[in-house]
Chain A
């Protein structure tokens, strides 16, 4: 069978097959979902953490330096996400996607965003200064949104081939591409409304400001949350 016939047959199977879906209690991993139109639905909060200005960094700095910045950032983001019980679901070049579920998913994801900012300010940028005596400052943006998600297999490679379908996956990615430093955490109003007081205010001072963006109200913050010692 030629490639065209093969693709036609696969595409028709995908459109024709009825879905079997179930509600998920945990963030699914590839083996939890069958190939074919099998899906898990979740109420989830999605976080995207993205380096701001990576093209400029790659154009201006050596590959070694850029790779060290990528590695440090992804390492810190990943560890902080896990410490807040988030699950890293995709990782692509300079950005990382994580999913949070459960009763405090919005507060955890947002605190995670504020902690990643602290890691950049208090760990990564001082690390660059110390090793290279350089004033290069890494900038990054975290976007957070919440919605129902449908998780399915794509079948495009052996492992890690899940597709996360739902508004939160798209909007969190879009929010993480807003470049308005020093604001580095952008969240949807659905997330903001569910936040615990501790990540909304500090000593009565609001940590967030509302902003209109693409016809929606979103909230941005330049605050950070110390990574625990």
Chain B
């Protein structure tokens, strides 16, 4: 059978087959889903952490230097996410996607974002500047967070890690993480409204967030912050 016939047959199957859905209370991995139209639905908060200006980083610096920046950023982001009980669900070049479910999922995702900001400002950049004293590079990043119902299915594209996460939060969080790096964290109103006071207001009672219009999308209100949360 030629490639075209084969693809036609498989595409028709995807559209024709009824979905077998169940509610989930754990983040599925690819062993918990079958290849057909099998899906898990869950209420989840999605975090995307993206290196800002990575094109300038790779165009303007030695490849090993750029690789070290990627590695240190991804390493710190991954550990912070795990500490807040987030699950890393996708990882693609210079960005990382994580999913949080259960109690305080929004607060935990936002706290992760604020801790990633701390790691960049107080761990990665000082270390980089002490090793590379002749380089004026400063790592910047942006984290986006949104929450919604997600529909998780297997794509069959490859053996491992081939889940597709369908839902507003996956798209919006990714879009928010490509906003300007003048602010390190952007969250939707749905996240802001339910997150706990400790990530909304500082110890000395200052608002840590500013409401702005999402003017590169549909002008809805989103919240941005440059506050960080200390990692112990």
Contacts of A127 in B (CB 8 A): 8, 11-12, 14-15
The reply to whether the CB of B75 lies closer than 8 angstroms to some CB of chain A is yes
The reply to whether the CB of B225 lies closer than 8 angstroms to some CB of chain A is no
B contact face: mostly helix, strand, loop, or mixed: helix
Count: A-B pairs, CB below 8 Å: 234
When each residue 68-88 of chain A gets 1 if its CB lies under 8 Å from chain B and 0 otherwise, what string results?
A: 101110111011100100001
Q: Does A67 lie within 8 Å of B153, measured CB to CB?
A: yes
Total chain A interface residues with beta-carbon distance under 8 A:
79
Bound Cα distance A122, B78 (Å): 41
Bound Cα distance A92, B90 (Å): 6
Q: Does B11 lie within 8 Å of A124, measured CB to CB?
A: yes
Q: Does B66 lie within 8 Å of A165, measured CB to CB?
A: yes
Contact among A3, A156, A161, A227 with B7 in the assembled complex (CB-CB below 8 Å): A227
Q: A11-B123, A58-B168, A156-B91 are in contact. Are A79 and B3 (CB under 8 A)?
A: yes
Q: A3-B83, A58-B166 are in contact. Are A156 and B88 (CB under 8 A)?
A: yes
Q: Which of B52-60, B194-202, B204-212 contacts A (4 or more CB under 8 A)?
A: B52-60
The reply to whether the CB of A203 lies closer than 8 angstroms to some CB of chain B is no
Q: Which of A16, A72, A93, A130 has the most CB of B within 10 A?
A: A93
Q: A129: nearest residue on chain B (CB-CB)?
A: B15
The reply to whether the CB of B28 lies closer than 8 angstroms to some CB of chain A is no
Contact among B58, B119, B157, B171 with A55 in the assembled complex (CB-CB below 8 Å): B171
When each residue 114-142 of chain B gets 1 if its CB lies under 8 Å from chain A and 0 otherwise, what string results?
A: 00000100011001100110000000000
Bound Cα distance A167, B170 (Å): 26
Q: Which of A102-110, A147-155, A180-188, A194-202 contacts B (4 or more CB under 8 A)?
A: A147-155
When each residue 155-174 of chain B gets 1 if its CB lies under 8 Å from chain A and 0 otherwise, what string results?
A: 11110111011111011101
Contacts of A97 in B (CB 8 A): 92-93
Contact among B76, B92, B162 with A11 in the assembled complex (CB-CB below 8 Å): B76
A contact face: mostly helix, strand, loop, or mixed: helix
Q: Does B4 lie within 8 Å of A228, measured CB to CB?
A: yes
The reply to whether the CB of A27 lies closer than 8 angstroms to some CB of chain B is no
Q: Does A228 lie within 8 Å of B64, measured CB to CB?
A: no
Q: Which of B7, B10, B79, B96 has the most CB of A within 10 A?
A: B7
Q: Does A165 lie within 8 Å of B67, measured CB to CB?
A: yes
Q: A128: nearest residue on chain B (CB-CB)?
A: B15
Bound Cα distance A127, B16 (Å): 9
Contacts of B15 in A (CB 8 A): 68, 72, 127-128, 130-132
How far apart are B144's CB and chain A's nearest CB, in angstroms? 12
The reply to whether the CB of B5 lies closer than 8 angstroms to some CB of chain A is yes
Q: Does B19 lie within 8 Å of A64, measured CB to CB?
A: yes
Chain A 1-57 residues near chain B, CB threshold 8 A: 2-4, 6-8, 10-12, 14-16, 19, 21, 37, 39, 41, 54-55
When each residue 40-60 of chain B gets 1 if its CB lies under 8 Å from chain A and 0 otherwise, what string results?
A: 010000000000001100110
Contacts of A76 in B (CB 8 A): 7, 11
Tell me the A residues contacting B by CB distance below 8 Å: 2-4, 6-8, 10-12, 14-16, 19, 21, 37, 39, 41, 54-55, 58-59, 63-64, 66-68, 70-72, 74-76, 78-80, 83, 88, 90-97, 119, 122-124, 127-128, 130-132, 148-150, 152, 154-157, 159-161, 163-167, 169-171, 173-174, 226-229
**Apart from A132-B15, A157-B78, A166-B58, 11 more pairs, CB < 8 Å:** A10-B72, A19-B64, A37-B68, A64-B151, A67-B37, A71-B156, A123-B7, A160-B160, A164-B93, A165-B66, A228-B4
